[in-house]
């Protein structure tokens, strides 16, 4: 006998409560991104923000002192760790640490183990870097949007708390199922979380509109690229249940972004190579 499909509407006013139940690293990451975009990225300011999360502080120090750093003596402070990692790479490292903290629990309601969600986040983030660089968009914002595009699923998974029958593998598009069960889809919740955490508006908009980006060439560039990145993650065998149909118009999205099929294929291969190159750092962070 098939279990009944239970509904558990999500109240957006409760978002603050669910945000407090998630690890603080994403919020710190948002403040770091905002500080960099606002030109407030002094060494002391970045170190101060990192120290807001003890776990993030430990992970940043571990990366700076790891075998990949090439230094014989360990960094004795967050400031020294930031200098060793470098400002450009710091945004990547902190982003990975933040995503790792959030995507550490299996999401049973989505039939998605934590490792799968994590792999999807990394592949999508790297794809966004490549797509943004190829189209003249902000690669740092794109990378961040890629890492956090599924953040809304974590809030909804916690809200479901075992009271909702898991997503059925019957071909139902995931956003349709989410809306029927919760009243919202994960993109809407994710955008609301990122807005709450004060991420830059382009990231909020990209996450909100990733599932159905505007067809007009001048609108929602980052959302369109995020949709393309989702398809690249699927091509790299890092897709998530129920999302396959969301990325089917890759040709149209690429054309709107000024990318021909040959260029898109090159970007796909570059994403694969860069994702493989990052595996050592990714595994190092995940073991922390």
Could you give the number of structural domains in the chain? 1
Q: Do the domain assignments include residue 1?
A: no
Q: Do the domain assignments include residue 226?
A: yes
Residue 8 binned pLDDT confidence (cut-offs 50, 70, 90): confident
Task: Report the distance separating Cα 8 and Cα 11, nearest Å.
Answer: 9
Among the listed ranges 30-39, 92-101, 178-187, which one has the minimum average pLDDT value?
Answer: 30-39
pLDDT tens track for 243-280? 888 887 777 878 888 888 899 999 999 999 999 888 77
What's the confidence (pLDDT) of residue 253?
79
Q: Do the domain assignments include residue 3?
A: no
Q: Do the domain assignments include residue 259?
A: yes
pLDDT tens track for 221-249? 899 999 999 999 999 999 998 888 888 77
Q: Do the domain assignments include residue 2?
A: no
172 to 35, 74, 91, 178, 186: CA distances (angstroms): 41, 51, 36, 10, 15
* Residue range 279-287: mean pLDDT, rounded: 73
Question: Considering only CA atoms, which of 237, 232, 222, 287 is closest in space to residue 265?
Answer: 232
Q: Do the domain assignments include residue 212?
A: yes
- pLDDT of residue 1 exceeding 50, the answer is no
What's the confidence (pLDDT) of residue 37?
74
Question: Considering only CA atoms, which of 237, 238, 267, 273 is closest in space to residue 250?
Answer: 267
Task: Report the distance separating Cα 272 and Cα 16, nearest Å.
Answer: 36
What's the confidence (pLDDT) of residue 4?
47
* Residue range 151-156: mean pLDDT, rounded: 90
Range(s) of the domain holding residue 201? 12-286
Q: Mean pLDDT of all residues in the chain?
A: 84
Give Cβ neighbours of residue 274 (< 8 Å, ≥ 6 apart).
126, 129, 130
- Can you give the CATH number for the domain in which 55 is found? 1.10.3210.10
Give Cβ neighbours of residue 65 (< 8 Å, ≥ 6 apart).
71, 74, 75, 81
- pLDDT of residue 205 exceeding 90, the answer is yes
Which two three-digit tokens encode residue 161? 């708390």
Question: Considering only CA atoms, which of 233, 288, 229, 275 is closest in space to residue 253?
Answer: 229
Helix or strand run (H / E) with residue 266: helix 261-277
Q: Do the domain assignments include residue 6?
A: no
Residue 281 binned pLDDT confidence (cut-offs 50, 70, 90): confident
Q: Do the domain assignments include residue 4?
A: no
Which two three-digit tokens encode residue 80? 């020294």
């Amino acid at each position: 006998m098939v279990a009944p499909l239970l509904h558990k509407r999500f109240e957006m006013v409760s978002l603050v409560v669910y945000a407090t139940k998630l690890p603080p690293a994403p919020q710190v990451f948002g403040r770091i991104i905002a500080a960099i975009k606002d030109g407030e990225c002094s060494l002391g300011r970045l170190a101060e923000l990192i120290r807001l999360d003890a776990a993030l502080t430990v992970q940043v120090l571990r990366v700076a002192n790891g075998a990949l750093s090439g230094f014989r003596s360990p960094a004795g402070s967050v400031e020294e760790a930031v200098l060793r990692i470098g400002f450009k790479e710091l945004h990547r490292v902190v982003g990975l640490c933040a995503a790792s903290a959030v995507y550490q629990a299996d999401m049973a309601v989505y039939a998605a183990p934590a490792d799968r969600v994590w792999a999807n986040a990394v592949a999508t983030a790297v794809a966004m870097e490549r797509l943004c660089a190829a189209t003249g968009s902000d690669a740092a914002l794109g990378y961040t949007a890629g890492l956090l595009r599924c953040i809304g699923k974590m809030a909804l998974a916690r809200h479901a708390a075992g009271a909702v029958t898991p997503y059925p593998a019957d071909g139902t598009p995931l956003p349709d199922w989410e809306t029927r069960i919760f009243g919202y889809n994960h993109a809407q919740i994710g955008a609301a979380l990122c807005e709450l955490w004060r991420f830059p508006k382009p990231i909020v908009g990209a996450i909100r509109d990733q599932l159905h980006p505007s067809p007009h060439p001048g609108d929602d560039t980052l959302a369109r690229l995020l949709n393309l990145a989702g398809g690249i993650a699927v091509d790299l065998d890092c897709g998530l249940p129920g999302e396959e149909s969301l990325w089917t118009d890759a040709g149209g999205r690429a054309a709107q972004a000024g990318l021909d099929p040959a260029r898109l294929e090159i970007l796909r291969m570059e994403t694969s190579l860069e994702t493989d190159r990052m595996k050592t750092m990714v595994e190092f962070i995940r073991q922390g």
